[in-house]
Amino acid sequence: MKNILITGGAGFIGSHVVRLFVNKYPEYNIVNLDKLTYAGNLANLRDIEDRPNYKFVRADICDYDEMRRIIEENQIDGIIHLAAESHVDRSILDPFTFARTNVMGTLALLQAAKLYWESRPEGFEGKLFYHISTDEVYGALELTDPEGIESPFTTTASSSEHHLAFGREFFLETTKYNPHSPYSASKASSDHFVRAYHDTYGMPTLVTNCSNNYGPYQFPEKLIPLFINNIRKRKPLPVYGKGENVRDWLFVEDHARAIDLIFHKGKPAQTYNIGGFNEWKNIDLIRVIIKTVDRLLGNPEGYSDELITYVTDRKGHDMRYAIDSRKLQAELGWEPSLQFEEGIEKTVRWYLDNQEWIDNITSGDYEKYYDNMYSNR
């Protein structure tokens, strides 16, 4: 039986990965480790919290002694490391927290796993440290609309056409790192530590770099859930600059499927890019969100357009990210399952149908509940 530790499993992406593994692999013991900061919420996992192969542990990945204890006590064979500070705006205001969690926390996990696995008779055989990173470590790409081609953002073009309309420059697994924010710099550093543990100690490691995720259970400081909630409450929709920055969007359940596939079939010491082949300018994405929310709420078309509010651009705001996932497709056969129109429809419906969840998040009541619950243990 495999004992798998998933860090950050009460967060957005992590909760989808935990749910997938608990449901798909009843023969595995899944240990969900989360500090339950503002972005961690056990309500994301209510549907599987009583499963016999699931266990939750509240802990800080920066606590090295605690990481050693948890890994040894649960005889962990594999680690899927998602725990991280991930919001760029927060990193600009508080870079030290990002360095502590994303760099020193990853290092604590690596060292704890290394020492435990080295102590086992089989050593590193059958073990894996899988680190989830971001496309932001690569820096930024130029925004180039080819001459004579209508912008795909106002058409019904497919996801692949959206992707290809920007020309030929994409982030590859071999792209040189060039982070531009404290967040991306901290993730780049943690990536280097993971690879160094393979090269120095022979520890089996994997790194994946993914594009922007969207879907259910995302903390509402992120663009898509924030704007859905603001439209519902008739609040302003703050758009950085002119809204021309471009991002590649990946449905979170597709990302979880990719993690599952890479964890089981990926080659140690390799890097895999995971992207949605689905690029959108922020302003065009926002218009799609507005149109979808208004339609589902029964508002007349264009009703919420007036909520768009242009604000001063973010410091060091990268213009474009675009992930090339062809290596993952060619080697392991993964590809996104949803076109963006399907994914955004599913996402908007989920947030509108789960208003109690998002209201509980925005009020902060869930944080007080966990602090009281765990302080009494």
* Angstrom distances, CA of residue 225 to CA of 123, 213, 367: 44, 11, 19
Given the residues 54, 116, 130, 183, the one annotated as active site: 183
What is the Cα–Cα distance from 133 to 351, expressed in whole angstroms?
26
Q: What are phi and psi of 140, to 5 degrees?
A: -140, 155
Residues 6+ apart with CB under 8 A from 316: 92, 180, 181
Helix and strand numbers (H, E) in the chain are 14, 12
Residues 6+ apart with CB under 8 A from 266: 130, 206, 272, 332
| 157-193: burial string, b at 16+ Cβ within 10 Å, e else | bebeebbbbbeeebbebebeeebbbbbbbbbbbbbeb
Element (H, E) at 26: none
* 370 classed as catalytic: no
Question: Token pair of 108, please?
Answer: 């604590």
| 48-68: burial string, b at 16+ Cβ within 10 Å, e else | beeeebbbbbbbbbbebebbb
Sheet containing strand 212-214, edge to edge, reads: 212-214, 246-251, 279-281
C-beta atoms surrounding 145 within 10 Å: 14
Residue 120 has what DSSP assignment? Answer: S
What is the Cα–Cα distance from 24 to 17, expressed in whole angstroms?
10
* Angstrom distances, CA of residue 202 to CA of 127, 299, 322: 11, 59, 32
* 60 classed as catalytic: no
Given the residues 60, 77, 85, 136, the one annotated as active site: 136
Q: Pairing between strand 279-281 and 246-251?
A: antiparallel
The vertex-338 CA angle with 332 and 342, nearest 5°, equals 175
Given the residues 135, 248, 284, 324, the one annotated as active site: 135
* 135 classed as catalytic: yes
Selection from 127, 148, 144, 19 nearest residue 82 by Cα? 19
Write out the catalytic residue numbers: 135-136, 183
